[in-house]
Amino acid sequence: MTIKDNFYNYIQGLQDTITSKLEAVDGKAKFQEDLWKRPEGGGGRTRVIENGNIFEKGGVNISAVHGALPQSMQTYFGVKDADFFACGLSLVLHPKNPFVPTVHANWRYFEMYDKVGAIVDQWYGGGQDLTPYYLFEEDAEHFHAVCKKACDTHGRDFYAQYKKRCDDYFWNTHRNEARGVGGLFFDYLKADQSKDMNAWYSFVTEVGNSFLDAYIPIVLKRKNLGYSQQHRDWQEIRRGRYVEFNLVHDKGTLFGLRTNGRIESILMSLPPHVQWRYDHQPETGSAEAKLLEVLKNPKEWT
């Protein structure tokens, strides 16, 4: 079995595992599934959950697309007349309760070919990150501890390296603050003297398999906490910053738009209710201000 077939089989199974668990935890809503095809080649399986007991909106999507690399992406990668294959699983979950954090994860594989079909480049990428609206430090510590455990058996410096990349990547430069409390982010994992593509496969899939352990205990701990409209307003204001990052900075969103991806699947990551208030500032010393302090100065959580 080829590397790309092996990884696509993996993300199909992981999508089933994650959506089944999320439905069980929510207890009300079920995922709606859409199968779609891309005219230029490939397609995907989009699964969206809405208006549940816990999850106000979320998606767990897989895709495998291929064809000629668009001119904009050829310029980006510095190549000419290249074809590509890309597959991955991408998820975003927006809970209803402001005390339950939003979460994002993505695991992907990419190949680039010359005009006779030979592979000229290939790599893995992905990660998972947490975006709370109210900061419970033990939740961030738990999420990062699971991420570190997944990394440690594959490289002693992996967690520190990919945690730093996550802090750097999910940074709203126009706001000078992080999107959330981070996690892991890695890209362009290629065969080298230390690891071949099979070793990178083992690493990426271990991170993918750790996702539910990282996130679900936090959901179960916070889902029944009472909240007010003030808490909800703050959640929606912070969701606005989430939208800003995804539409301005996120490479995955831009790649999907530039390769004629399915627009509903690409924009699935956007929350259903958002607020933008002019120059909103939380009260000094408040829980909202505590969150902003951490977002402006990322912490070490393990």
Q: How do strand 182-189 and strand 83-95 relate by DSSP bridges?
A: unpaired
Q: Other CB atoms closer than 10 Å to residue 81's CB: what's the count?
A: 9
Alpha-carbon distance values, 297 to 180, 283, 293, 294 (Å): 11, 18, 6, 5
Alpha-carbon distance values, 30 to 47, 91, 273 (Å): 9, 15, 20
Q: Is 104 a catalytic residue?
A: yes
Instruction: Give pairs for 254-262: CB < 8 Å, separation 24+.
Output: 255/73, 255/86, 258/70, 258/72, 258/73, 259/40, 259/65, 259/70, 259/73, 259/86, 260/38, 260/39, 260/40, 260/70, 261/38, 261/63, 261/65, 262/36, 262/38, 262/44, 262/46, 262/63
208, 183 Cβ separation under 8 angstroms: no
Q: Please give the Cα distance from 129 to 183 (Å, whole number).
A: 4
CB neighbour class for 184 (10 Å; exposed up to 12, middle 13-18, buried from 19): buried
251, 88 Cβ separation under 8 angstroms: no
Catalytic residue among 66, 94, 104, 144: 104
Backbone angles phi, psi at 91, to 5 degrees: -135, 150
CB neighbour class for 224 (10 Å; exposed up to 12, middle 13-18, buried from 19): exposed
203, 7 Cβ separation under 8 angstroms: no
Catalytic center residues: 104
